[in-house]
Chain A
Amino acid sequence: MLLNAKGLQKVYGRKGQMYTAIRAIDLSIDRGEFVGVMGPSGSGKTTLLNIMSTIDQPSGGTVEMNGQNIGAMNEKELTMFRRNHLGFIFQDYNLLDTLTIEENIALPLTLSKVDVHEIEQRVHQTAEILGLDELLNKYPYEASGGQQQRTAVARAIIVKPDLIFADEPTGALDSKSATTLLQMLTRLNEEETATLLMVTHDAFSASYCHRILFLKDGEIFTQLDRGRQSRKEFFQKILDVLSAIGGEASDLF
Chain B
Amino acid sequence: MRSALATLGGTLPRPRWRRPEGWTIVTLLIAGVLSLPILVIFAHVFVPASEVWLHLRQTVLQDYVVNSLILMLGVGVGVLLIGVSTAWLVSMCDFPGRRAFEWALLLPLAMPGYIIAYTYTGMLDFAGPVQTQIRDLTGWGYGDYWFPEIRSLSGAIAMLTLVLYPYVYLLSRAAFLEQSICVLEVSRTLGSSPWAGFRRVALPLARPAIITGLSLALMETLADYGTVQYFGIPTFTTGIFRTWFGMADPGAAAQLAALMMTFVLVLIVLERYSRRRARFHHTSARYSRLPRYRLKGWARTGALVACLLPIVLGFVVPSSQLTQWAMKTTHMWLQPQFLGLVWNSVSLAAIAAVLAVFLSLIMAYGKRLESSRTTNAAVRIAGMGYAIPGTVIAVGIMLPFAWVDNTIDSFMRDTFGISTGLLLSGTLVALVFAYCVRFLAVSLNTVEAGLGKIKPSMDDAARSLGSAPRTVLWHVHMPIMRGSILTALLLVFVDILKELPATLILRPFNFNTLAVRAFELASDERLADSASAAMAIVLAGIIPVILISRTISRSRPGHDTPA
Q: Do A and B come from one complex?
A: no
List residues of chain A with CB under 8 Å of any chain B CB. Answer: none
List residues of chain B with CB under 8 Å of any chain A CB. Answer: none
